[in-house]
Amino acid sequence: MDDSDKASILRRLASQYRARVFRPGSWSENELRHILEGTEDLATLMGGPAAFRRELRWVLVWRVPWQTWMAAMAVPLLDVVYFKSASWGDPPELKWQTVHELAHVWDIRTFYRLSRGLKKASGSSYGRFKWQSPIPFEYHGGEGWLKGRKHPLNALEDWAESVATCVYADHAESARGGPRLISPARWNYVREYMAVRLDYPAHWIPHFYGPDEPGPEPD
C-alpha cells in the first residue's frame, strides 16, 4: 500500500468535498478509494463538488470497531460513522452505503425538510406507536412501495434509500437481499434536487403499476 496514494485520496476528499476522515491510519487505500468514489458519484448528480459543498457544507467521517446490525449511520454533529459490519469487501455495496449516509447528512443540513417532502410526495404516512428510534411510529411507504420489500423505518431512511437508488440504479436491481427499486414518485422527487436529472428506468414501471393501472405522468 502506497501511503502517498492514501494521502492523495484524503486530500481530494478534504479539498473537493470538505470531508474529513478521522483516524486515517485505520483505513486501507481501497476502502478510502471506495468512499471517495461514492462521494464523487453523488456529487456528480448534484452538479459537482461545488454543489455538494453548498448543500452538505462539510462531512465528518468516522470508523469504529463495533459490531452492530447497522453497516453505518449518520447523526447530527458526528455525520457519517461506519461500523465493523459495513461492506468493506464489497465495493458496490460500500459505495451504496456511503451515498445512503451522505444523503442522511444532506437531510440533516436541511433540518429534515428533504425527508418530510419525500414522505408527502410518495403518499407515505406514520401509523401506530412502535418502540423504535428515532421516530417511534410505524412507517407505511404508501402505495408506491415495491411489493415484498420491507418498508423503511421512517421517512429519513426512505429518503436516503431513494437517493442511493437514483445514484446506483443498476446496483438497485441486483442488490443482495433483493431488488431495491423505488416508485416513480420517489425517483422524481429526488431528481428535483439533482442537477443531472436521469430518466426513470422504464422497465421498473410494471413493478409498481398493473396492466390496467395508469402509469406515472410524463415529465
Q: What does the pLDDT look like over 84-129, one tens digit per residue?
A: 989 999 999 999 999 999 999 999 999 999 999 999 999 999 988 8
Residue ranges covered by each domain of the chain: 1-109, 112-201
- pLDDT tens for 201-216 read 999 999 987 654 444 5
Q: Whole-model pTM?
A: 0.92
Higher-pLDDT residue of 217, 69: 69
Distance CA 116, CA 185 (A): 14
**pLDDT mean over 128-149:** 85
The pair phi, psi for residue 80, each rounded to 5°, is -100, 125
* Torsion angle of the four alpha carbons 188, 192, 194, 196, in this order, in degrees rounded to the nearest 10: 70
Strand ordering across the sheet containing 79-82? 19-21, 59-63, 79-82, 72-75
